[in-house]
Structure 1
Amino acid sequence: MESKSGEGKVVCVTGASGFIASWLVKLLLQRGYIVNATVRNLNLDNENLIILLLLTTFLKIKPPYKGQVDLGEAAAEAGKRTEPAPESEAPTVTDPSPVCEIAATPEPPAFAEAAEAAPSSPTLASRSDEFEDMFSGTPPATGEAAGFGHLPIPRATRAASQTSECGARDGLSMMIVNEAFVHAQQEVDDLKGQLDAQSRETEKFLHLLRAKEDELNQAITLSNLRPELDAAKAENRQLKEDTSKVAHLLGLDGPNERLHLFKAELLEEQSFDAAIDGCEGVFHTASPVSLTAKSKEELVDPAVKGTLNVLHSCAKSPSVRRVVVTASTSSVIFNKNMSTPGAVADETWYSDPEFCEERKQWYQLSKTLAEEAAWKFAKENGIDLVTLHPGLVIGPLLQPTLNFSCEAVVNFITQGKEAWSGGIYRFVDVRDVANAHILAFEVPSANGRYCLVAVNGYSSLVLKIVQKLYPSITFPENFEDGLPLTPHFQVSSERAKCLGVKFTSLELSVKDTVESLMEKNFLHI
């Protein structure tokens, strides 16, 4: 039976749409946690949401039930308006769904029931005192005749028919009945035609709305309404509208009740306050990953400032009892000792910022400085901090995008291209990394740093497993098959095992990674 250790507890996961974080959110939800998840973009610039806001709040436009609205004039008129439309003028909209749909429908005319027969020259106006409920849609209560199409026969016609059946014996009565019937049928046809025309006008109206979006936005800007629109959009930050980067999160078990999305930016102060407020635990996974950055500022600023922004928000919330930061082996092993044959790195090792800077290893520098800043802030502010240091994280993808580490696997297989010089990797499964985060939060004795490495090896280890799974595969010419099984430099995970982390075999991790990459069309074998 699956553990529900998080029942009723609220935690926050930053960068929730990422590779590791997506799995972390999945496992947290499975354990019963309530998860506040931050993402960079909730895609709130939803076309229909904007249109509806414009219609109902700013432009005072009503759907064209009785004719076409000129949007050029409406946009120009928007510059003259500073007050929102009265509630009575706003159309009723039930749902800003991807297909912009006006919920209100035209109100059909009412008719008073005729006593005996209809006048000889009926019109829509004159009928208003003679018929009622022509379009009521209510089935006859006592077996009366069916209507034309989806509309009931006018009661005047039924009344006239009943009069005839009760004893009208002359031709005049029958003529009156027939005339009433003909006129009523004509009115039904005319009104149905009007409704069809109005429906077509509505479609044209919506089409023009989309075509005029830029013009409308310009009108809003010129009329100083942009701040009001931005404020309205900000109120919807927890809406689950992003259909690309967060859709996979919304498909997990339990998101409707226990997953709450927040927009947050690493470099924006107080951006994480709302998401972290009231949480017991915070998992900070958000950080840029790139080995091709051209300057240290490109990676160092988001990594360091983003970590401090998250920790500042944690310090403000008295409910936070532990913070788990996703660091990296990059902040452990990059120093002069890594070239020592037979060396085994562990949690007591620290990367040297000068060593990284001399070699322009900006990603390694960013992770090193971010971890240093985190420990310094945590000590000064009494925050219970744990840092996790995974190697090259592989495994099945939940997110729709190709992350750096899984792209490295694709490059191994298709190009024989190494992710970095030396070709020594510290492989670990993403599911084990996500589980280690939860253990680091739940285990009371957890503290300090934990290296997460299942296997130390060369890329050739991965390729041999792939070759066994797919014997017909052809590898690039630069594939090296004669490398030693154990590299001269390794990272130990003994401390993580003491925490309770159990590592997936490399064979299963590679198999699941390759199958996932193929399923998502990132790899073709």
Structure 2
Amino acid sequence: MAPSFHQTANTVCVMDASTQLGFTLVEQLLQRGYIVHASVQQHGEEQFNALSADSNRLKIFPSDPFDYHSIIDALKDCSGLFYTFEPPRDQPNYDEYMADVEVRAAHNVLEACAQTETIDKVVFSSSATAVIWREDRRSLELDLDERHWSDVNFCRKFKLWHGMSKTLAEKTAWALAMDRGVNMVSINAGLLMTRDLSITHPHLRGAAEMYEDGVFVTVDLDFLVDAHIGVYEDISSYGRYLCFNRTINTHDDAVKLARKLTPSAPSLPQSYDQGKNFIQQRISNKKLNKLMVHFTK
């Protein structure tokens, strides 16, 4: 769908632009005629040297989600924000304390958006792990979708720290957005299939259970970027959007993914194959697919 504004006059911020998702968003937004404020953590500016863009349309802002004033600086004159979180470099692993870190960052960013009069819309990157982890997930009559939330206590009980962090951070963002009148949509993405994806990725904790329940979903980088831009440009977008373009629900799918994650592993654990060639998908992204029908690159 064509945006409801003149792209060349529109300025947006991407935070953190030094992530693979953030950097690719910057590339695509520049190609669509946006002016982009690329907000990066320390030591992330170098990768933007390769972008052949008018310096007047790409501005780099060293910022920190825990430094409120640096967020305000990056948001100045912007009408939109694309926000994604990755752990600070000195805290690279998700653990039981990461939720506090991610919640604090989300709070700071949404508060800064509320204080920036030019901000019209926020696209908040979350995860499918903020949807799927529930005690009743196997007994639900309807497929899981963006109306469902992961149970924080369930996540804590089984040490699903990624799901717990994403759930608490997204709920914090939604609470603040509603309280401050910030127009926000969220993208709840499946496992992002990047070149450097490894078995240590925190999203993969509980992978066998996700597979057996028919809710193990992945997303390609280009599709995820298009979804972010699509929900931003569509004036009718609202709420949460589950985003994935593949479901791991056959034994062959699981084997291929396991080989990608652990090339040296001889075979999958038996739990990955319960004698079924196909596991019924129990998760739906119809809401996003309906919106993306009208999206044009």
TM-score range, shorter chain: 0.7 to 0.9
RMSD between superposed Cα atoms in Å: 3.3
Distance 1:304 1:349, change over 3 A: same
Once the 2 structures are TM-superposed, how far is the Cα of residue 293 of structure 1 from its aligned partner? 3.5
Q: Which residue of 2 aligns with 1:36?
A: 37
Q: Which runs of structure 2 are paired with 1:85-484 in the superposition (5 Å)?
A: 245-254=44-53, 256-288=55-87, 293-294=94-95, 296-297=96-97, 299-340=98-139, 344-395=143-194, 402=196, 406-408=197-199, 420-422=207-209, 424=211, 425-458=216-249, 460-461=252-253, 463-464=255-256, 476-478=266-268, 484=276
Once the 2 structures are TM-superposed, how far is the Cα of residue 390 of structure 1 from its aligned partner? 0.5
Q: Distance in 1 between matches of 2:294 and 2:264?
A: 33
Q: Distance in 2 between matches of 1:302 and 1:16?
A: 19
Q: Distance in 2 between matches of 1:30 and 1:7?
A: 10
Greater radius of gyration (CA): 1
Q: Distance in 2 between matches of 1:307 and 1:501?
A: 30
Q: Distance in 2 between matches of 1:34 and 1:311?
A: 21
Once the 2 structures are TM-superposed, how far is the Cα of residue 447 of structure 1 from its aligned partner? 0.5
Counterpart residue identity of residue 445, structure 1 = S
Once the 2 structures are TM-superposed, how far is the Cα of residue 359 of structure 1 from its aligned partner? 1.8
Q: Distance in 1 between matches of 2:150 and 2:47?
A: 35
Distance 1:466 1:336, change over 3 A: closer
Are 2:130 and 2:166, in contact at CA under 8 Å, matched by a contact in 1?
Answer: yes
Q: Distance in 2 between matches of 1:489 and 1:37?
A: 37
Once the 2 structures are TM-superposed, how far is the Cα of residue 460 of structure 1 from its aligned partner? 3.9
Counterpart residue identity of residue 11, structure 1 = V
Percent of pairs identical after alignment? 28
Distance 1:376 1:475, change over 3 A: closer
Q: Distance in 2 between matches of 1:408 and 1:356?
A: 19
Q: Which moved more, 1:20-29 or 1:494-503?
A: 494-503
Q: Distance in 2 between matches of 1:292 and 1:342?
A: 35
In the alignment of these two chains, the number of paired residues is: 279
Once the 2 structures are TM-superposed, how far is the Cα of residue 382 of structure 1 from its aligned partner? 0.8
Question: Which TM-score applies when normalising by structure 2?
Answer: 0.82
The answer on 1:495 being equivalent to 2:284 is no
Task: List per-residue Cα deviations over 1:39-70 (Å, max 9, x = no partner).
Answer: 1104xxxxxxxxxxxxxxxxxxxxxxxxxxxx
Task: List per-residue Cα deviations over 1:227-274 (Å, max 9, x = no partner).
Answer: xxxxxxxxxxxxxxxxxx443332123163321111111222222001
Question: Which TM-score applies when normalising by structure 1?
Answer: 0.48
Are 2:160 and 2:205, in contact at CA under 8 Å, matched by a contact in 1?
Answer: no
Once the 2 structures are TM-superposed, how far is the Cα of residue 27 of structure 1 from its aligned partner? 0.7
Q: Which residue of 2 aligns with 1:23?
A: 24
Q: Distance in 2 between matches of 1:279 and 1:300?
A: 28
Q: Distance in 1 between matches of 2:293 and 2:224?
A: 8
Are 1:9 and 1:34, in contact at CA under 8 Å, matched by a contact in 2?
Answer: yes
Counterpart residue identity of residue 149, structure 2 = Y
- Point out where structure 1 has 5 or more consecutive residues left out of the alignment: 43-244, 411-416, 468-472, 504-525
Are 1:8 and 1:34, in contact at CA under 8 Å, matched by a contact in 2?
Answer: yes
Once the 2 structures are TM-superposed, how far is the Cα of residue 6 of structure 1 from its aligned partner? 2.4
Once the 2 structures are TM-superposed, how far is the Cα of residue 14 of structure 1 from its aligned partner? 0.5
Once the 2 structures are TM-superposed, how far is the Cα of residue 485 of structure 1 from its aligned partner? 4.8
Q: Distance in 1 between matches of 2:278 and 2:70?
A: 45
Are 2:160 and 2:206, in contact at CA under 8 Å, matched by a contact in 1?
Answer: no
